[in-house]
Structures are given as structure tokens and as C-alpha cells.
Homo-oligomer: A and B are copies of this chain.
Amino acid sequence: MVAKIIDGKAISEKMRAGLAKEVSNLVRHMPKPGLAVIVVGDDPASHVYVRSKAKQTIEVGMESFEYQLPASASEHQLLDLVATLNNDERVDGILVQLPLPHHINAEKVLRAIAPAKDVDGFHPLNVGLVATGSGGMVPCTPLGSMILIKSVRDNIAGLNAVIVGRSNIVGKPMAQLLLQESCTVTIAHSRTADLPAVVGAADILVAAVGRPEMVRGTWVKPGSVVIDVGINRVAAPDGKSKLVGDVAFGECLDRAAAITPVPGGVGPMTISCLLQNTLRAATARRA
């Protein structure tokens, strides 16, 4: 078997094209949806992400509002800005770029975002709504991962899904989504006794641990779907660096039925899902 390589870049582009069409229909009878992104400090990676988000936001026809605060900004200042955006009619989605400087309590800031504008889906109210299957905003990375799974498997009910990694941002919400699709769901992590055996039972594997190529090809169940959420920068043979996932991609190609590459798999889906959440927030709030 040669694994199908799931092209997250192409799928996310198609998704944004669909969103652009929806937005162009919507703006006939309502204002443009607006996404506000706040970045604090001068972490270069954060600024790259934020620019990329702003660009794609505008490309699908939405308003982008960008707020840059200095690294010295106080928690109080940031909370003030969030409160202002919560009440700003033009703003449908609010995203605070992480990580925040250490003197700011990130949890407190994320909880200050109005749940209806929490397009990252990190507010505990949205976490609870998603967990109970009662709506709520779904975090972008699990949402994008599920779209990629669905691109190769229409009906996943009854399949064994294994998630490696139990983060609040990926692992746990991914488990909820797979459970809603009636998978038998296992969450494994650093304390798991026999990880290769657990991974070996997975019809659907989602790796989200942030450890370069930790999941080996020999662990993977033949015929499975492998979603690699990890993005790790490692030294390349040429002395430069390269990006690899949490899965040893090359080793899986003759075992998995389908696998996401890194880069170009889950990564590109995230912003598209963010824009989809923003559109959803806009239509819900303005309905």
C-alpha cells in the first residue's frame, strides 16, 4: 500500500474559496464580518502568524483589525482592550495570539473574551458546550484535523481513534469531536504504558505531542489514517533546519492508508478554520 498524502494546503485553499463566496453573499444584507487579532510583545513567530491571518482574513472578504501591544503592556491594558473589542459591533471574532509575556495571566485573558466572539474556542464555556455536544466554538486545530480525516473517510463511526497528547488546545477537544462521530476514542500521553501497542490499534491516529518523529512507522496500523499535528524544527543533514511532525512520515508511507505531511497538512487548516469560526460567530451574533 502506498499512503495517500492528504493535501491540507489544497483543502484549506478550497475551504477559503468557499468562505469567500459565503461572505460575498452575506455582505449584501449585513456588515462585513470582522476578526480582531491582538499580539503582545515582539515574538517573531507570533508576528508571522498574525500577518498571515490578517492577509487571509482580508482575502476572504472580512475585516481584519490588528492590535499590537508592547511586551511591557500590563494585564490590565490587555483586559481593557479585550473589553473594548467585546463591545465593538464591527468585531465578530477576537483572537489573542499566544504565548503572552509571563507577567500576564493568559487564562484570565482568554476567559475575558466574550464566548460568542471566542473564535479560538478556548473559553471554558465553549469547551463545555463542545464537550456536551451542545454547540460552542470548536478550536481550530482539532476542527481542521477532523476535516482532513473526513476528506479520506466518510463514515468513521465505530472506528478506533487514538489521540497521542492530552492538551486542552488539541488532544482533549479532538477526543470530543471523534466521540461525537461515534469513534471508540483513546487518549494516550507521556504516561501511557505501552504507546506502540496503543497506537497499533488505531484506525485513526492523531499525533499532537510536539516531539519530533516520536511515532514510528512500525507502530502504525496498516490501513490507518494518520493525522500529524506536530510541527517541530530540527537540524537537517545540510546543517540548516527543517520542519518535521510528531510522526516519522517516511516510515508510514507503505503502511498507512492516508497521512498528512508536515508542513502542508494540518498547519494550513488552522487559519481557514479560524475564518470559518469567525463567519459562524458573525452569522450567529447578527442573526
Q: Which chain B residue shows the least CB distance to A160?
A: B193
Q: Is the CB of A182 within 8 A of B189?
A: yes
Q: Which of B125, B166, B175, B193 contacts A128 (CB 8 A)?
A: B125
Q: Which of B133, B159, B168 contacts A168 (CB 8 A)?
A: B133
Residues of A within 8 A of B (CB): 107, 123-129, 131-134, 136, 157-160, 166, 168, 172, 175-176, 179, 182, 184-189, 191-193, 198
Question: In the assembled complex, how far is the CB of residue A127 from the closest CB belonging to chain B, in whole angstroms?
Answer: 3
Number of identical protomers: 2
Q: Which B residues are in CB contact (< 8 Å) with A126?
A: 128
**Secondary structure call for the A interface:** mixed
Q: Is the CB of A186 within 8 A of B189?
A: no
Q: How far is the CA of A193 from the CA of B192 in the complex (A)?
A: 23
Q: Which B residues are in CB contact (< 8 Å) with A129?
A: 124, 128
Q: Is the CB of B134 within 8 A of A128?
A: no
Question: In the assembled complex, how far is the CB of residue A121 from the closest CB belonging to chain B, in whole angstroms?
Answer: 10
